[in-house]
Structures are given as C-alpha cells and as structure tokens.
C-alpha cells in the first residue's frame, strides 16, 4: 500500500474512466455538496435537457399498469450510453460456459481472465462479461488457511480489478483501484496473493464500475473448507446459487451510463431474475433429500425474500461464519453482497418453486402488491433419499465454537459507540417532475424497497445528479473525506442511522472490506444469534450497531454495496494502523 | 449468563441513546376515554436476517405500547380489561395482539401491510374476538401512503 494516501487519489476508487487503458482521477476529486433539490429552480431542468443523449433514447420498461409520469416522457439520462463489445459481432464470441469447480491447495496458482462472452437469455443473445469464459466464474474451493496466487488477466474493453469479498486477506490484494492498487488496464495483468483465514462462502467481483462489470457477469464464489469434517450437517447434495438480475427491453440490454451510472437513486433493478446467470434454475432431488444451498446475492440493488416452495428452511451460516445456533426460517432475506448458507428438506415428491416473494409498493396509487418471481423449479421424485438425513435436519445444531468466539467480544457490547454515521443523499439537477414527485411522496418510507417502484425516475438519475452520503456525525465529514484511523486489534463500535427524512431514503447494505464484524443491535434490540458478517443491511429509519474486529492492518473500504450508490459516492476508508501485535 | 448480562446492559444503553424509531404510531383517544393517550412502536421481530418478513414478504413487527390515562375498564360498562388489535383497513380482519394496561406492554406481532391499531375495552383479557368499545386507535405508518393518480403530475398538467 502506498502511504501517505492522497484523497484525490482515493476519489478515483471504482470510478475509473471507461476509456480503455486510461486511469484518470475521478472527475470530482473533492466531493461536492449537491444543492438540495427543494431549492432547485426550473432552469435546472432546462440545463438537464441540454446534454447530447441521442443514444440513450430507449425508454426504461415500466411495470404493468404503472404509467410514466407525463413530465418525464422523452427525457433521457444526461450521460453517454454504454454497452460492452462495441463493434463486436456477438455471434463470434464464445458462449458463456457453466461454472467449473477449481480445487486449489496452499501455494497453488489460478489464472483468472475477465473477457467478453456471449450469453443467450430468454432466446436473446447479448455481449456480456465472464471470468474464464464462465458465468458465474470458476467456483474456487480452498482449504481454510490456504494462500493462493491469482494471476488476473484483464481482457475486457475497460479497466478492471478483482476484489475478494469478505476475505480477511493482505491489504495489497484487496483489489480496490486508487486505494490498494492501480486499476488493471485493458490487456494488462495483475497478481493477487489471497489467503483464506476463515471457513465459509465468499465471492469475487470487480471493484471498478461494479454497476456495469458485475451486472454483466463478473462474479464467482470461493468456498473455504473447514478442516472439521462435521463443520456442516450431512446433506444429500449441495448447490451454489448466485442470485442476480438483468434489465432488458425487448432484444436489448438497457444501456449503462458511460461517464456515470444511471439508476443512481435506487440502483439498477433488473426485470429478468437469474440464478447462476440463467433465468430458469432447475434441480432434481429425491423424496426426503436435504439440500444445502450456498446463497450469494450478486445483484446491483435487489434484496430478495427467497423460499423453496414451502419446504422447511434452516439457516446455518452467513458471510463469515456459522450462526451460534441454527433456526428454522420462513424465507431467506438476502441483500446485495450478503451470503447465507441454508438447508431445505423436500419431504414429499412434487415440484417446488424457488420464488422471490415480496410486497412491492405502487407509489402512484399508494398501495402494496404481492410480487412473486419464480427463479426455478426443484423437481422431487418418489425415490427415497439415500441416506435419509431427516433426523439430522430436524436437529437444530448449536455451534458452541461460534459462541465461544463471540464471547470474547461480548464485554464490548455495552460500550458507547466509537463512531457514528448517518446515511443520507443529496441531489441536484434532477428532472423537475422527479423532484416534484419525490417531494410530495414523503408521508411513508418503506424500510426495504424490494422492487423499483419508480423506474422512470430512477433511470433518469445519474451519479452526476445524485450523491449518496456516509456522514460522520462527529466531524460532519462525508464519504472519502472521512478519515478514520483505528489501532490494529481494537474493537470499534460503529452506530449507523439510515435517515428516513432524506430526499430519497433507501436501505443500504454496508460492506466493510478486510475485517469481520458483528451486528450487535438493531433499533435498540440486541442480536440474540450471532454470525460474523462483512455486509450488514441497514433498513430505512433503522439504527444498527456494528462491532468491528479491527484485526487486519491496512486501508479498507467501507461502502454501500448497491453498485450505483457506491459509484455515486457512498464510500469511506477505515485505516487499521499497524503497531499492535496480532491477537492470539 | 454472559448473554443475559449483555442484553440487559446494551438495552439500557441503547434506550437512551438511539434515534427515535421510525415506526412510531401515535394513538388517539375516543370520547369514551378522553384522558387516555399513548403510542405504539413497531420494531422488526426477531430474524437472523435483521429484517423479519413472512414467506410472502409481509413485514413482521413486534408491537410495543406505552399507554397512560386508561380508565378503570368497569367504568365503561361490563368490562374488565383492555385489549389491542391489529385491524385491516376495511375493518374486516381483527387480529388479537394482547392485553393492555397503563404503562408499557409488548403485545404481539403485526403482519399486515397497512393496518389500524385499536384498543378496546373487553369483558376479559383473554377474548379472541372484539366486542367492546374503542378507547384508543392509530394507523400504521404505511397507512399514510397516498394515491397520486389525480395529481397534476400524472395528468400532464403543470403543478
């Protein structure tokens, strides 16, 4: 890591120019404070219309029965459109392959190439991205405490880098351009050294324009295997499910913003839901089978409420550890970047639909509506499970090792917060109709926006107009101006309040790189079943207390994992300073 | 043991330091109980995900009440208790939350998207359907959602 770090350099994080090979600092090296829209004059609307947006003219698809606000008809986002593979004949690209498992041992090397692929989704072919020609990328399986070398080759049409999400690795390999490395220019390479100290399920993805690169297929899982043979309960089979979505209109992907992301208000919420990159997941099982699902949400913005056709679900683990005790749950709520390990038992033959079932809000008529998307079908035949793990499934395990680990941190649970953040947003130069609507639709805020209830307004908002904010309550500093230094091996209690009175309140999955943390309380209620996390969902209006185990030295990003919110500024850096000895 | 100790101390700390909850429901009295007042607070029910919802996506909230000024139930008729209900906005569905007294009560879980919170006087605290008069009532925050279809914005008219 280069020291001292200059803020101007930090501001380039995840916002490198899309010009191939270029690494220009972010346009706004010092984050500006956007003028509140409540004070906006009609003239700003006119200014908005002055951009050259001839290739952004495709209207965003609206949900059935929901009209586009007349004042927004014909308006387009003030950015140049971008889709990958300009000038490339999609028919000449290799078709994306299914994920392959790569088993690596300590000291092994993986070659990981990001490149263009052809993906055919619902009969339509698109130029998209993949790692090693696969979507999702290779499933890397390593033993706990292994260290591997990853030779990354960028064969995209833009700069990139690879972040090893949730892994407490050495800072220089964290994959954050402008902070831990330079972006890897198109055609160039970079070598990561990745160690895996914690068992569990992790993932890798770019940390450059995630709103584009991750959305187009650059993601993959890492499974770190514990040496304990009974780390998990016995099951009949295991499945890795990476949950994503894609926004299409007819035969075309809705273009991305070249200089700045579109959908900056809510993030891009796709209208085609995908499991492992495919719109129809399928699985065959026997009656009585217990299936362990490793779930990773790789969507830009969507939070899922997942269930398996009424099959009982047992929660086992999350981001960086198992839970203290297993629980039966009605469904799995999983925000972007989170992981959950769950088990489900299919006790009878039949077809079990894997569904995302949520209550959406139609903001125009002020009503809730049930939305159910079927992500796939699990077909269970009448042959009996062999072996039958019904007894083991029924037993809810207590993981005393997790509790013993957490016990060491309980003395810190009642300390006053060391830091506190408020989550909010500032906007400028949004279309007038958007501002008018947002200003009047303030009587109620949903703690979670499960769907995009206002796609027209969302599409027209860009990172030029929307600035999502992490504000340090003690100093008033925001985003990359926040300058936290904490001592290695200290415990940091951070209180995060998601301000419901902002212009557009929304939930934020806050991710901290390179450390692990406990969500110790929500809205004053202590968590009573802990698992170590690296990403915590902060609903609108909620106050969430995190206890960060700051054991890993370096400069680490903390940011919202809604890709467009990240690109719109919602990020800060926490320095864990060297000096204290490693904790035993 | 460590857990119990931690829970008590953390709650004590947080009750005085956290922001007001976002899901507070002011309760309004009726002429039957003019001295009654109070509020309800909705906090997500326990969930390992932090956000508690049903399989079909309805939010699940623990409902706690802080009420004062309730009269003696018998002063209103043949009643001996007050009971809180989660009521659908068309008044067709009444879900018993629990018995209420002056002071703080935690009374159960609400699962409707929009609902009325109603406190009635009842013959006893264990009734499963309501028969008595309303003394306090409020509306879930989601009840404030408005329809904008008639707004000039949606008719292509200037605001």
Q: What is the pLDDT of residues B63-95, one digit of tens each?
A: 999 999 999 999 999 999 999 999 999 999 999
- Entry pTM: 0.90
Say which range, A204-208, A249-253, A293-297, A562-566, has the weakest mean pLDDT: A249-253
Query: What pLDDT is attached to residue A54?
Result: 40
- Tens of pLDDT, residues A86-98: 889 999 999 999 9
d(CA A448, CA A446): 5
Query: What pLDDT is attached to residue A424?
Result: 98
Report the residue of chain B nearest A363, measured CA to CA.
Answer: B147
DSSP annotation string for B82-125: EEEEEE-TTS--EEEEEEE-SEEEEEEEE--SS-EEEEEEESST
Q: Residue A433, SS3?
A: helix
Give the CA radius of gyration of chain A.
23
Measured at the alpha carbon of residue A194, what is the angle toward residues A405 and A148, in degrees to the nearest 5? 115
Distance from CA of B93 to the nearest CA of A (A): 17
Residue closest to A148 by CA, chosen among A160, A138, A133: A138
Query: What pLDDT is attached to residue A124?
Result: 94
Asked if the Cβ–Cβ distance from A69 to B55 is below 8 Å, we say no
Asked if the Cβ–Cβ distance from B142 to A444 is below 8 Å, we say yes
Q: Residue A226, SS3?
A: coil
- Tens of pLDDT, residues A411-436: 999 999 999 999 999 999 999 989 98
Model confidence at B144, in pLDDT bands (50, 70, 90)? confident
Query: What pLDDT is attached to residue A219?
Result: 98
Mean pLDDT of A563-578: 97
d(CA A289, CA A292): 10
Model confidence at A443, in pLDDT bands (50, 70, 90)? confident
Element containing residue A312 per DSSP (H, E)? none
CB pairs under 8 A between A and B: 159
Residue of A333, A508, A538 to mutate when probing chain B, most B C-beta within 10 A: A333
Asked if the Cβ–Cβ distance from A368 to B142 is below 8 Å, we say yes
d(CA A355, CA A273): 10
d(CA A45, CA A51): 11
Q: Which residue among B43, B48, B153 places its CB closest to the CB of A433?
A: B153
Extract the tokens encoding A81: 């459109």
Given a cut of 90, whether residue A397 has pLDDT beyond it is yes
Percent of chain A with pLDDT over 70: 89
Pick the most confident of A210-219, A431-440, A447-456.
A210-219
Residue of A366, A441, A451 to mutate when probing chain B, most B C-beta within 10 A: A366
Given a cut of 80, whether residue A215 has pLDDT beyond it is yes
Given a cut of 80, whether residue A576 has pLDDT beyond it is yes
Which residues of chain B neighbour A368 with C-beta distances below 8 Å?
A: 113-114, 142, 145
CA end-to-end distance (rounded Å), chain B: 61
Which residues of chain A neighbour B19 with C-beta distances below 8 Å?
A: 497, 543
Query: What pLDDT is attached to residue A49?
Result: 33
The answer to whether B23 and A539 have CB atoms below 8 angstroms apart is no
What mean pLDDT is reported for chain A?
89
Does the structure's ipTM exceed the value 0.90? no
Distance from CA of B103 to the nearest CA of A (A): 19
Query: What pLDDT is attached to residue A3?
Result: 34
Model confidence at B23, in pLDDT bands (50, 70, 90)? confident
The answer to whether A548 and A536 have CB atoms below 8 angstroms apart is no
Query: What pLDDT is attached to residue A362?
Result: 85
> Which residues on adjacent β-strands are paired with residue B65?
B40, B105
d(CA A508, CA A493): 18
Mean pLDDT of A198-223: 98
Q: Parallel, antiparallel, or unpaired for β A304-308 and A332-334?
A: antiparallel
Neighbours of A483 (CB within 10 A): 15
User: What contacts A244, CB < 8 A, 6 or more positions away?
Assistant: A215, A219, A270, A273, A274, A275, A277, A297, A298, A299
Which residues of chain A neighbour B1 with C-beta distances below 8 Å?
A: none
Extract the tokens encoding B131: 């028969």
Residue of B13, B46, B50 to mutate when probing chain A, most A C-beta within 10 A: B50
Given a cut of 50, whether residue A21 has pLDDT beyond it is no
Which residues of chain A neighbour B141 with C-beta distances below 8 Å?
A: 444
Report the residue of chain A nearest B19, measured CA to CA.
Answer: A543
> Which residues on adjacent β-strands are paired with residue A275?
A243, A278
Say which range, A24-38, A196-210, A258-272, has the weakest mean pLDDT: A24-38
Model confidence at A58, in pLDDT bands (50, 70, 90)? low
Question: Which of left, alpha, beta for A223 (phi over 0: left; psi -120 to 50: alpha)?
Answer: beta
Mean pLDDT of A381-399: 98
Q: Which residue among A368, A521, A541 places its CB closest to the CB of B22?
A: A541
């Amino acid at each position: 890591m280069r020291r001292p770090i200059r803020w101007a350099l930090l501001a380039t994080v995840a916002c490198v120019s899309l010009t191939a090979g270029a690494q220009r600092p972010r346009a706004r090296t010092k984050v500006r404070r956007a003028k509140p829209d409540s004070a906006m004059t009609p003239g700003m609307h006119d200014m908005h219309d002055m951009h050259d947006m001839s290739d952004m003219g495709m209207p965003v698809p609206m949900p059935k029965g929901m009209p586009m606000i007349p004042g927004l008809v014909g308006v387009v986002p003030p950015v140049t459109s971008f889709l990958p593979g300009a000038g490339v004949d999609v028919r000449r690209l290799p078709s994306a392959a299914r994920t392959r498992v790569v088993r690596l041992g300590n000291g092994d090397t993986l070659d990981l190439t990001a490149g263009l692929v052809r993906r055919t989704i619902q009969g339509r072919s698109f130029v998209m991205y993949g790692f090693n020609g696969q979507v999702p990328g290779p499933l890397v399986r390593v033993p706990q405490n292994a260290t591997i070398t990853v030779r990354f080759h960028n064969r995209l049409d833009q700069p990139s880098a690879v972040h090893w999400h949730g892994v407490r690795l050495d800072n220089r390999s964290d994959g954050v351009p402008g902070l831990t490395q330079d972006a890897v220019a198109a055609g160039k390479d970079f070598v990561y050294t990745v160690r895996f100290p914690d068992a569990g399920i992790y993932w890798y993805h770019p940390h450059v324009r995630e709103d584009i690169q991750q959305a187009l297929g650059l993601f993959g899982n890492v499974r770190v295997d514990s040496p304990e043979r009974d780390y998990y309960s016995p099951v009949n089979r295991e499945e890795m499910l990476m949950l994503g979505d894609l926004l299409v209109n007819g035969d075309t992907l809705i273009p991305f913003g070249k200089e700045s992301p579109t959908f900056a208000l809510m993030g891009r919420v796709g209208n085609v839901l995908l499991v492992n990159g495919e719109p129809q997941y399928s699985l065959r099982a026997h009656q009585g089978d217990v299936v362990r699902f490793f779930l990773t949400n790789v969507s830009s913005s969507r939070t899922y409420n997942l269930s398996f056709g009424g099959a009982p679900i047992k929660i086992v683990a999350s981001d960086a550890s198992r839970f203290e005790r297993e629980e039966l749950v009605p469904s799995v709520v999983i925000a972007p970047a989170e992981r959950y390990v769950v088990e489900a038992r299919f006790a009878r033959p039949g077809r079990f639909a894997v569904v995302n079932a949520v209550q959406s809000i139609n903001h125009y008529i002020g009503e809730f509506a049930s939305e159910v998307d079927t992500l796939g079908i699990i077909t269970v035949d009448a042959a009996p499970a062999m072996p039958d793990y019904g007894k083991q499934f029924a037993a809810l395990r207590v993981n005393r090792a997790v509790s013993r680990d957490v016990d060491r941190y309980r003395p810190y649970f009642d300390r006053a917060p060391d830091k506190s953040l408020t989550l909010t947003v500032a906007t400028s130069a949004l279309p007038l109709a958007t501002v008018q609507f947002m200003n009047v639709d303030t009587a109620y805020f949903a703690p979670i926006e499960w769907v995009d209830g206002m796609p027209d307004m969302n599409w027209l908002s860009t990172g030029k107009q929307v600035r999502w904010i992490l504000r340090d309550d003690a100093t008033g500093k925001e985003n990359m101006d926040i300058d936290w230094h904490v001592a290695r091996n200290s415990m940091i209690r951070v209180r995060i309040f998601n301000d419901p009175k902002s212009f557009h309140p929304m939930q934020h999955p806050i991710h901290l790189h390179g450390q692990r943390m406990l969500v110790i309380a929500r809205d004053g209620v202590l968590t009573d079943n802990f698992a170590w996390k690296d990403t915590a969902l902060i609903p609108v209006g909620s106050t969430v207390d995190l206890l960060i185990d700051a054991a890993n030295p370096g400069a680490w990003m903390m940011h919202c994992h809604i890709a467009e919110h990240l690109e719109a500024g919602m990020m800060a850096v926490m320095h864990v300073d060297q000096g204290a000895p490693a904790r035993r | 043991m460590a857990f119990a100790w931690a829970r008590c101390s953390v709650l004590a700390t947080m009750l005085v330091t956290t922001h007001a909850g976002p899901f507070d429901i002011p309760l309004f009295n009726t002429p039957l109980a003019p001295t009654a007042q109070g509020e309800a607070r909705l906090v997500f029910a326990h969930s390992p995900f932090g956000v508690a919802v049903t399989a079909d996506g309805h939010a699940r909230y623990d409902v706690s009440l802080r009420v004062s000024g309730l009269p003696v139930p018998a002063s209103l008729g043949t009643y001996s208790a007050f009971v809180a209900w989660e009521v659908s906005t068309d008044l067709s569905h009444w879900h018993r939350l629990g018995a209420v007294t002056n002071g703080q009560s935690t009374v159960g879980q609400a699962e409707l998207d929009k609902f009325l919170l109603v406190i009635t006087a009842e013959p006893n605290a264990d009734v499963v359907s309501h028969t008595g008069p309303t003394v306090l009532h409020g509306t879930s925050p989601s009840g404030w959602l408005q329809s904008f279809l008639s707004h000039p914005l949606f008719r292509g008219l200037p605001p």
